[in-house]
């Protein structure tokens, strides 16, 4: 659903509550404009010596009650509108997040994550501000303006109002003109500052290189250049802000001067009473703020509308990998994998990355994949859970083309351990049970033991409750990989893919993990990508991939007998050298 429709629906759902809070704000302003009126009456009565002390107390109490009622009503309206804004903000963010979760990894590869975060934070916030603060202020400003004008026209003098208000009317137009220019200047200053921090960070991290090559003067000059630019931008911002800050007081001073001149004349000539004159100056003071706010709100609405349009583009993005129009009704898979792929090419690539790949793994068997960096191993296994979409009729699981299987069934049947063993910033236990809310502590511990990470975890202060990441402990590369392996071991699924996930563990641990794998092997089809051949030598079948094609295929013994690349690599690794990198 696009954000405009979402906004309309939200306003429809909340129309009574939203209308009520707008009414509350209007009522509060109705009370607010009674202040000058009461004070005007008080002045007149005081001047005519008609007041007893008792009357003065009554006036004071009246003003107090009016003040309290105003604050109460205004506070309620503000709070409720603020809440609507927040509710909509979270609804929009949730929609964005849900939508992004559906999009393919390709989308995130092509988009800048910084830009996406910017949309999720700033654009959504802009819409919220318009919906809450903007509507609050606009309601407030319009009503206050109308009410003040009605009061001054009816209780003071229409002529005085029209003449005195003219300078104030320039204020909103001025803000509409200058507001975006100030924002632009401020953004340029921020960009300049972040450029400068980037340069500083870069210089500090390469300080040894800078010193070794005696490049300090060049770096200092580069820094000076940035500083000069920031100063220039800051001066522009100062000039515009100063203009802004001086314009509004100037206009209100002119307005007051006119009111004083003309109002004084009217009072002196007896055309208006002193009380009306006092009330009028107070009304004029009340007008400055709403006129200023109207300008701000118009700018705010313009920005919110641009933000909505940008959000709309994001939410219109269609997921490129989805269920087939009529997916097969298959809920469970056994794990028989057949690949007959003539070619696979990335969307923006000029030539295929995989060609003529053919193999068959029966349920419970293990396939080893080896090959040089960039030969296409990860690409091949990424096709199985449809992280990238293979051509139709090229990959079959249990005899079904994977593109015809429900995406949920396919992905829920595969446990994938990526190269970097990504972990979330939460406890180790939650990381292992990720995606399996029903996992018991016993199952989690068993998986951790099988992945040889149990002892490491128990050595941490809070065991499985130890939090990982910025706010917790830092795991070594090997510990990260083994925790990710434990997560995959816990997932009771027919297919397990390990993408070079033993690279950071030592040979002894690798052996123990492979042994643990052997135990669960009967129930799982396993694909192991590895650079160290010891990780695949027990596989039922091994593929050696060279430039996207199968160069050699067979069991360890067969490949050794073939005396090709695999055999050479194996012998070299046996001698302690690593050739395949």
Ligand X SMILES: Nc1ncnc2c1ncn2[C@@H]1O[C@H](COP(=O)(O)OP(=O)(O)OP(=O)(O)O)[C@@H](O)[C@H]1O
374 belongs to the binding site for ligand X (CB under 6 A)? yes
Q: What is the CA radius of gyration of the chain?
A: 36
| H-type alpha helices, 497-555 | 507-521
Residues between 492 and 521 that touch ligand X (CB under 6 A): 500
C-alpha span between 74 and 101 (Å, rounded): 40
Site string for ligand X, 447-486 (x = CB under 6 A): ----------------------------------------
For the chain, give the longest Cα–Cα distance.
Answer: 120
Q: How far is the CB of 104 from ligand X (least distance, A)?
A: 10
Environment class of 19 (CB within 10 Å of its CB; exposed 0-12, middle 13-18, buried 19+): exposed
* Separation CA 63–CA 428 (nearest Å): 62
Nearer to ligand X, 172 or 371 (CB): 371
| Of residues 125 and 345, the one with the C-beta less far from ligand X | 345
Is 532 a residue that touches ligand X (CB under 6 A)? Answer: no
Nearer to ligand X, 301 or 388 (CB): 388
| Cα(269)–Cα(263) distance, integer angstroms | 10
For the bound state, the minimum distance from the C-beta of residue 380 to ligand X, rounded and expressed in Å, comes to: 7
Binding test (CB under 6 A) with ligand X, winner from 379, 409, 433, 479: 379
Shortest approach of ligand X to residue 546 CB, angstroms? 10
Beta carbon of residue 72, minimum distance to ligand X (angstroms, whole number)? 59
How many CB atoms sit inside 10 A of residue 558's CB? 13
Stretch that binds ligand X, among 368-376, 455-463, 467-475, 489-497 (CB under 6 A): 368-376
Q: Candidates 125, 343, 378, 534: give the one binding ligand X (CB under 6 A).
A: 378
Query: Of how many residues is the chain composed?
Result: 581
Closer residue to ligand X in complex, CB, 77/376: 376
Which CB atom, from 70 or from 344, has the smaller least distance to ligand X?
A: 344
CB of 370 to ligand X, least distance (A): 9
Q: In angstroms, rounded to a whole number, what is the distance separating the alpha carbons of residues 59 and 43? A: 11
Return the residue of 375, 481, 503, 541 that touches ligand X, per CB under 6 A. Answer: 375
Name the segment binding ligand X (CB under 6 A); options: 62-70, 241-249, 373-381, 472-480.
Answer: 373-381
Where does 77-136 show beta strands of DSSP type E? none
Q: Taking a C-beta distance cutoff of 8 angstroms, is the pair 501, 481 a contact?
A: yes
Shortest spacing between CB 503 and ligand X, in angstroms:
9
Give residue 415's region: left, alpha or beta (phi > 0; psi -120 to 50): beta
Q: Which of 85, 179, 371, 478 binds ligand X (CB under 6 A)?
A: 371
The piece of 78-86, 229-237, 374-382, 453-461 that touches ligand X (CB under 6 A) is 374-382
Comparing C-alpha atoms, which of 459, 457, 514 is closest to residue 489? 514
Q: Is the dihedral of CA 532, 535, 541, 547 positive or negative?
A: negative
| Smaller CB separation from ligand X, 310 or 372 | 372
Q: Closest separation between CB of residue 478 and ligand X, Å?
A: 18
- Which sign, positive or negative, has the C-alpha torsion 508, 510, 515, 516? positive
The first and second tokens of residue 575, run together, are 């001698």
List helix spans (H) across 206-215: 207-212
Q: Supply the minimum distance, in Å, between the C-beta of residue 531 and ligand X.
A: 7
Residues contacting ligand X: total by CB under 6 A:
13
The beta-carbon contacts of 127-130 under 8 Å, at least 24 apart in sequence, are 127/3, 127/7, 127/88, 127/89, 127/92, 127/304, 127/307, 127/308, 127/311, 128/85, 128/86, 128/88, 128/89, 128/92, 129/85, 129/300, 129/304, 130/300, 130/301, 130/303, 130/304
For ligand X, the closer CB: 122 or 373: 373
Q: Which is nearer to ligand X, 206 or 419 (CB)?
A: 419
Our CB check for ligand X shows the closer of 285 and 418 to be: 418
Among 342, 373, 440, 476, binds ligand X (CB under 6 A): 373
Q: Min. distance of Cβ 375 from ligand X in angstroms? A: 4
Write down the residue that tokens 């046996």 correspond to. 574
Q: What is the DSSP letter of 368?
A: E
551 counts as binding ligand X under rule CB under 6 A: no
Nearer to ligand X, 468 or 544 (CB): 544
Nearest-approach distance from CB 570 to ligand X, in angstroms: 17
| For the chain, the helix, strand and coil percentages under 3-state DSSP, each to the nearest 5 | 65, 10, 25
Closest contact distance (angstroms) between CB of 578 and ligand X is 13
Nearer CB in complex with ligand X: 127/381: 381
* Stretch 89-128 residues interacting with ligand X (CB under 6 A): 109
Per-residue contact string for residues 334-353; x = within reach of ligand X by CB under 6 A: ------------x--x---x
Nearest approach in angstroms of CB 320 to ligand X is 12
Among 255, 246, 413, 445, CA closest to 336? 413
- Least separation, in Å, of the C-beta of 372 and ligand X? 7
**Structure-token pair, residue 383:** 């096709």
Could you tell me the CA-to-CA distances from 239 to 179, 186, 234, 248 in Å, in that order? 13, 11, 9, 15
Nearer residue to ligand X within complex by CB, 22 or 383: 383
Please identify, using beta-carbon distances, which residue of 109 and 159 lies nearer to ligand X: 109
Select from 218-226, 229-237, 376-384, 507-515 the region that touches ligand X (CB under 6 A). Answer: 376-384
Residue 539, classified by CB atoms within 10 Å of its CB into exposed (0-12), middle (13-18) or buried (19+), is: buried
Applying CB under 6 A, the residues found at the interface with ligand X are 109, 346, 349, 353, 371, 373-379, 500
């Amino acid at each position: 659903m696009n954000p405009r429709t979402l906004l309309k629906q939200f306003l429809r759902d909340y129309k009574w509550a939203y209308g009520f809070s707008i009414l509350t704000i209007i009522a509060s302003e109705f009370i607010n404009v009674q202040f000058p009126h009461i004070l005007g009456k008080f002045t007149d009565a005081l001047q005519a010596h008609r007041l007893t002390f008792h009357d003065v107390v009554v006036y004071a109490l009246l003003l107090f009650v009016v003040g309290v009622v105003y604050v109460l009503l205004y506070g309620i309206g503000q709070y409720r509108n603020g809440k609507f804004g927040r509710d909509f903000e979270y609804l929009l963010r949730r929609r964005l997040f849900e939508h992004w979760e559906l999009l393919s990894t390709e989308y995130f590869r092509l988009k800048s994550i910084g830009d996406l975060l910017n949309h999720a934070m700033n654009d959504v916030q802009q819409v919220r501000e318009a919906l809450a603060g903007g509507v609050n202020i606009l309601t407030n400003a319009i009503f206050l303006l109308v009410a003040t004008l009605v009061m001054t026209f009816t209780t003071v003098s229409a002529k005085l109002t029209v003449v005195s208000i003219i300078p104030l009317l320039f204020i909103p137009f001025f803000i509409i003109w200058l507001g975006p220019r100030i924002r632009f200047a401020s953004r340029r200053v921020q960009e300049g500052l972040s450029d400068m921090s980037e340069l500083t960070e870069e210089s500090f991290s390469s300080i040894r290189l800078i010193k070794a090559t005696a490049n300090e003067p060049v770096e200092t000059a580069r820094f000076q250049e940035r500083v000069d630019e920031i100063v220039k931008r800051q001066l522009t911002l100062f000039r515009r802000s100063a203009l802004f800050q001086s314009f509004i007081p100037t206009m209100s001073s002119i307005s007051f001067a006119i009111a004083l001149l003309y109002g004084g004349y009217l009072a002196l000539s007896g055309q208006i009473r002193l009380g009306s004159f006092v009330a009028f100056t107070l009304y004029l003071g009340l007008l400055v703020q709403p006129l200023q706010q109207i300008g701000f709100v118009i700018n705010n609405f313009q920005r919110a509308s641009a933000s909505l349009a940008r959000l709309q583009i994001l939410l219109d993005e269609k997921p490129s990998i989805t269920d087939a129009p009529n997916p097969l009704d298959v809920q469970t898979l056994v794990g028989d994998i057949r690949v007959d792929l003539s070619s696979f090419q990335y969307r923006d690539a000029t030539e295929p990355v995989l060609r003529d790949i053919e193999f068959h793994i029966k349920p419970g068997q293990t396939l080893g994949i080896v090959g040089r960096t960039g030969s296409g191993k990860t690409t091949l296994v990424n096709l199985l859970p449809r992280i990238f979409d293979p051509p139709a009729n090229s990959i079959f699981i249990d005899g079904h083309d994977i593109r015809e299987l429900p995406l949920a069934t396919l992905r829920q049947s595969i446990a994938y351990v990526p190269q970097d063993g990504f972990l979330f910033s939460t406890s180790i236990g939650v990381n292992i049970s990720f995606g399996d809310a029903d996992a018991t502590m016993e199952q989690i511990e068993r998986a951790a033991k099988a992945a040889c990470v149990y002892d490491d975890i128990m050595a941490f202060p809070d065991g499985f409750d130890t939090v990982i990441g910025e706010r917790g402990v830092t795991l070594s590369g090997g510990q990260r990989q083994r925790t990710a392996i434990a997560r995959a071991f816990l997932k009771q699924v027919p297919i397990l893919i390990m993408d070079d996930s033993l690279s950071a563990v030592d040979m002894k641990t690798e052996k123990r993990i492979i042994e643990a794998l052997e135990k669960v092997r009967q129930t799982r089809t396993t694909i192991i990508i590895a650079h160290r051949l010891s990780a695949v030598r027990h596989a039922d079948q091994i593929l050696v991939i060279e430039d996207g094609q199968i160069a050699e295929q067979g069991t360890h013994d067969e490949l050794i007998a073939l005396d090709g690349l695999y055999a050479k690599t194996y012998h070299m690794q046996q001698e302690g050298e690593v050739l395949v990198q």
